[in-house]
Copies of this chain bind each other. A is one copy, B any other.
Amino acid sequence: MSGRLFVIGLGPGAADQMTPEAAAALEAAQDLFGYGPYLDRVPVRPDQTRHASDNREEISRAAAALSRAQAGATVAVVSGGDPGVFAMAAAICEAIESGPPDWRAIDLQVVPGLTAMLAVAARVGAPLGHDFCAISLSDNLKPWAVIELRLRAAAQAGFVLALYNPVSRARLWQLDAAFDLLRGILPAGVPIVFGRAAGRPDERIAIVPLSEAQADMADMATCILVGSAATRLIHRPGLPPLVYSPRSQG
């Protein structure tokens, strides 16, 4: 008799941005799996077993969680933001596809969460107000040439871009390479939003023109929004500017 597996999105980090659905799934779990800093956001309960792992170990974490669920436990795998956006839901599916047939019978429920680009966008106005793309800048799992192709295609077609995983300790040059590529396509004044830890105590939001965007303005906790040529700033006396992408474009 197999158990249940929840793949839960904790949202960007603020407690009041996690859905009640996610809170209920956490409540039901006997075993919690996740990257350490995400697990640290979940209040400790002595009757739950916690299995923290590093952020490069998605597939082994997925397999361990599926094994526990297969053994009958109610298991939660937690992701920051939304589990379906550059996070654990795809890793769980990959593990199911290549794993033992019994794993396909596990009661799997993906519980969505607020993904970072929505939280960052809300802080500055409506930068995602028209068509947009989400791109991971990590070339751990796809070639850099694919990332360049997608950045170019999306910027040329007038999408706003949300850049996830912009830098890491091991990936330093990719973000500046992305900005250089984008400077060849978009006007110099296009607003770039660096949204770090949106909604958390250590939140830091910066808005700069594309001409001044640099990789050292971002860290691992940053989601970057790149405007389109249509994206505009509204200046406000005594308040930060609003950034928005108008609904109408031609």
Residues of B within 8 A of A110 (CB): 121-123, 125-126
Indicate if A238 sits at the interface (CB-CB under 8 A). Answer: yes
List residues of A (112-166) whose CB comes within 8 Å of B's CBs. 112-115, 118-119, 121-123, 125-136, 141-143, 146, 149-150, 153-154, 156-159
Q: Are B131 and A150 in contact (CB under 8 A)?
A: yes
Known A18-B19, A122-B110, A142-B249; judge A133-B130 contact (CB<8 A): no
Q: How many Å from the CB of A175 to the closest CB on chain B?
A: 16
Copy number in the complex reads: 2
Residues of B within 8 A of A68 (CB): none
Alpha-carbon distance A127/B236, docked complex (angstroms): 40
Q: Are A250 and B143 in contact (CB under 8 A)?
A: yes
Indicate if A227 sits at the interface (CB-CB under 8 A). Answer: no
Q: Are A84 and B121 in contact (CB under 8 A)?
A: yes
Alpha-carbon distance A127/B239, docked complex (angstroms): 39
Q: How many Å from the CB of A88 to the closest CB on chain B?
A: 9
Known A234-B93, A247-B94; judge A122-B130 contact (CB<8 A): no
25 contacts between A and B (CB under 8 A): A11-B19, A16-B20, A16-B21, A19-B114, A84-B122, A85-B128, A86-B247, A89-B129, A90-B246, A93-B244, A94-B247, A97-B234, A104-B235, A110-B123, A110-B125, A112-B119, A130-B142, A131-B134, A131-B150, A132-B134, A141-B248, A142-B250, A143-B250, A150-B158, A153-B154
**Residues in chain A within 8 A of chain B (CB atoms):** 9, 11, 14-21, 24, 58, 82-86, 89-94, 96-97, 104-105, 108, 110-115, 118-119, 121-123, 125-136, 141-143, 146, 149-150, 153-154, 156-159, 232, 234-239, 242, 244-250
